[in-house]
Amino acid sequence: MTLVDAFHRNIDYLRISVTDRCNLRCLYCVPQGELIKLKHQDILRYEEILRIARIAISLGIKKIRITGGEPLVRKGIISLIESISALSGLQDISITTNGVLLLENLKRLWNAGIRRLNISLDTMKREKYRHITGSDKFDAVWTSIEKAADMGFDPIKINIVAMKNVNDDEIEDFGSLSMTKPYHIRFIEYMPIGTKPSRLRPEYIPSVEIKKRLEALGELEAISRSALDGPAERYRFEGAKGEIGLISPMTNHFCKACNRLRLTAAGSLRPCLLSSREIDIRGPLRNGATDAELVEIFRKAVMMKPSSHGMLHEKSELFPGEMSSIGG
């Protein structure tokens, strides 16, 4: 079975947000004022996530990413990953983390079948890291990145939200890092997302500008795309150990090729990060829905997927939902 939407896109990638809680307070992610947390009973339980994952895989989902909030703050998360990893038919499981709790979890993540890591790190400067995230955890994150590389995790993708006047002075430094280390350095255009403005609403830096600045360091050769690739345009400096990825949700949206569906921490299926459309799966599941009924909810969610998010054309400045509960 496959999940095909109204625009003939094959949906085979599910991102699961396992919590809306996070141990960092990134200025550009957390909204102003009080962060309203989901109630414990409103968050999907592990056995519910596992059942949804199993149904998703039976419908042709091949790749699952565990995200949040910060997935590593949820107790017992590694056991959930182990269980999902063991589901037959799944080709790829990965995690997106801020890396703060990664070091102590690396071994168990490896044993649970994780090989691919996405780690968010917007700056290489300790003081700036503290300013952006509200925590003095740069060293903890950096140590876990190096340890993960030693252990053989591959690829290790470092996600940088590129923001004017925040970290644009580090574009070349991150570019150089890809030459000496085997990391995939990925620059993501900042998106004005959230129901309430975040404390910092920076300007995004267009990927073309980032590429131009990187090209001053040396020639960038394009890397051809492989089956499990996401939306990044991939490049490598000659002889580099790592690579560069440019992700351009603002200037070159990749909606035409979007193969994603999201499961929010509160148990809704969300077909587009940047649209408020979502459908509740937690309610039916808790009310005794059969697998066939849950399959129908998946099909409905996929049919609700918009053709594109039109981020640059919409009148509204803010896009619906908090990153922390939808999962980036």
Query: Contact positions toward ligand SAM, by CB under 6 A?
Result: 22, 28-29, 67-68, 70, 96-98, 120, 159, 161, 188, 190-191, 193, 323-324, 327-328
Q: Which residue is nearest to ligand SAM (CB)?
A: 328
Report the residue number, 159 or 167, with the smaller CB distance to ligand SAM.
Answer: 159
Distance, CA of 231 to CA of 266 (rounded, Å): 26
Report the residue number, 11 or 66, with the smaller CB distance to ligand SAM.
Answer: 66
Q: How far is the CB of 76 from ligand SAM (least distance, A)?
A: 17
Angle between helices 207-215 and 171-180 (to 10 degrees): 60
Using DSSP's 3-state secondary structure scheme, residue 161 falls into strand
Q: How far is the CB of 294 from ligand SAM (least distance, A)?
A: 25
Report the residue number, 204 or 235, with the smaller CB distance to ligand SAM.
Answer: 204
Report the residue number, 3 or 158, with the smaller CB distance to ligand SAM.
Answer: 158
DSSP 8-class letter at 234: E
Report the residue number, 97 or 259, with the smaller CB distance to ligand SAM.
Answer: 97
Distance, CA of 207 to CA of 247 (rounded, Å): 7
Chain-centre distance of CA 114, in angstroms?
A: 15
Find tokens 């997302």 and name the residue.
Answer: 193
Distance, CA of 294 to CA of 290 (rounded, Å): 6
Distance, CA of 93 to CA of 85 (rounded, Å): 7
Q: How far is the CB of 106 from ligand SAM (least distance, A)?
A: 16
Q: How far is the CB of 322 from ligand SAM (least distance, A)?
A: 9
Q: How far is the CB of 84 from ligand SAM (least distance, A)?
A: 17
